[in-house]
Amino acid sequence: MECDVLIVGGGPAGLSLARSLADSSLRVMVVERQPETAIAVPGYDGREIALTHRSIATLKALGAWHLLPPDEISPLNEARVLNGASPFALSFETTGHGGGPLSLMVPNHRIREALYHSVRDQPNLTLLTGSGVSAVKTDARSVRVMLEDGRSISARLLVAADSRFSRVRELLGIDAEVNRLGRSMMVCRVTHEEDHHGVATEWFDHHQTVAMLPLNGRRSSAVLTLPAEAMKRVAALDDAALGDELTRRYQGRLGRMQVDAPAHVYPLATTYARHFAAPRAALIGDAAVGMHPVTAHGFNLGLQSQATLARLVREAAGSGQDIAAASLLRRYEMTHRLASRPLYAATNFLVRLYTDERPGARLARDATLRVGSRLPLARRAITAMLMQR
Ligand SMILES: Cc1cc2nc3c(=O)[nH]c(=O)nc-3n(C[C@H](O)[C@H](O)[C@H](O)COP(=O)(O)OP(=O)(O)OC[C@H]3O[C@@H](n4cnc5c(N)ncnc54)[C@H](O)[C@@H]3O)c2cc1C
């Protein structure tokens, strides 16, 4: 088989790149390891994605936004960061940014479903499902990919969009920083007695982090982070006991909580590829940058990476240039590194600062919040980043 752009991974990053290349002269193929039904009707995975305004605009341009069920889009008006029992809170709200919510929350499986339906009938796209990639060979003119089921595909450009533990990245010989954090994150939709007023809270308490992300009605996505061993005990609780446990761990701030949808647990690891490109190949989405979920930027950055690559590839195709020229791939790498590295470093710094249990670190956290709460410029800069259009 032959195509121009071969994308490995039919997750949100891979499918959005495929869609960004619609209406071009390029023949696009997506190879996805799971069967087609798994990406056509993705199961609920507990993740609620906080979308920046820029991501919302991208999803609209891709024709995926209007495919989302409107009642599953929840406004997030304000975000507060709390430290242990400290009364100081760092707050991000939209005042001065033209009003409207800071972000909109959408379930990850709905985004995946909408992206699948946006590409399903795309004339220049072939979707190959049910087989992963087993080998990759590149030369100056093309790249050849062998699938686990024995088929092979040659392409002009190969794009890895196959998750933070990307097999294609490995087959291309690109190394990555991998930090296994020894902690797990539980995400669980809950109903509660009190109103959240659209406020998201990130509470860094001792030995646990609890975030509450507001969903429509008196519902939230409870996000609990614990050391992996401690999480095993919590994950084994039945729904009634888990509701009580979350109520207790959140100190009843939203009243009594009840589990509304099955909890999902993710072992936490961050990854950052040493390069985002190799001859005739590029990495996008989590395959390039696997962010810690605490600052809610993984998908947003993934969407940005595919938009950057798609723009360069479309420009090259439109002017008859090589869509995998070394200079094009270098520009992609540089642009995405500039967009992602500061966020990746700042997020990891925040995670280290707020999960260090030594007394000195606790004081440093409190000091950061006090200073932060007096630095309207810093607060405004972060808010502007969330609101970027
Ligand atoms: C709990 C949690 C909360 C999050 N919250 C947010 C948030 O609020 N905001 C935000 O922006 N981000 C958030 N994220 C991050 C976001 O979910 C990810 O960044 C995003 O899903 C990455 O998309 P992707 O397409 O790059 O990779 P994935 O979603 O991992 O998709 C990869 C695809 O590739 C396929 N695949 C894998 N290997 C192969 C192979 N060898 N061959 C073929 N196919 C293969 C897989 O089956 C899958 O379909 C969160 C993550 C977690 C865990």
Over the stretch 118-171, which tens digit does the pLDDT of each residue have? 999 999 999 999 999 999 999 889 999 999 999 999 999 999 999 999 999 999
Query: What pLDDT sits at residue 100?
Result: 82
Mean pLDDT score across all residues of the chain:
92
Vertex 65 angle, CA 4 and 328, to 5°: 30
CA of 193 to the centre of ligand 1 (A): 32
Query: What pLDDT sits at residue 376?
Result: 58
Query: What pLDDT sits at residue 89?
Result: 66
Ligand 1: atom nearest CA of 52 is 11
Query: What pLDDT sits at residue 24?
Result: 95
Pocket perturbation via mutation, ligand 1, pick of 33, 181, 265, 268 by most ligand atoms within 8 A of CB:
33
Query: What pLDDT sits at residue 143?
Result: 97
CA of 108 to the centre of ligand 1 (A): 9
Pocket perturbation via mutation, ligand 1, pick of 30, 34, 47 by most ligand atoms within 8 A of CB:
47
Distance of CA 227 to the CA centre of its chain: 22
CA of 11 to the centre of ligand 1 (A): 6
Contacts of residue 161, defined as CB under 8 A and 6 or more positions apart, other chains included, come to 7, 8, 9, 11, 13, 14, 17, 283, 284, 285, 287, 306
Report the candidate in 205, 207, 199 with the shortest Cα–Cα distance to residue 86: 205
Contacts of residue 224, defined as CB under 8 A and 6 or more positions apart, other chains included, come to 185, 186, 188, 208, 209, 210, 231, 234, 246, 249
State the DSSP string of 142-189.
-EEEEETTS-EEEESEEEE-S-TT-HHHHHTT--EEEEEEEEEEEEEE
List, for the chain, all residue ranges whose pLDDT scores fall below the cut of 50. none
Question: Structure tokens of 25?
Answer: 């002269």
CA of 162 to the centre of ligand 1 (A): 8
In sequence order, the β-bridge partners of residue 49 are 106
Superfamily of chain region 5-178+269-387: FAD/NAD(P)-binding domain (3.50.50.60)
CA of 241 to the centre of ligand 1 (A): 30
Token pair 């991208």 in the structure block, residue: 58
Pocket perturbation via mutation, ligand 1, pick of 129, 224, 299 by most ligand atoms within 8 A of CB:
299
Ligand 1 pocket by C-beta < 6 Å: which residues?
A: 8-14, 31-34, 47, 49-50, 108, 132-133, 161-163, 167, 185, 187, 266, 285-286, 293, 296-300, 302
Query: What pLDDT sits at residue 80?
Result: 87
Query: What pLDDT sits at residue 233?
Result: 97
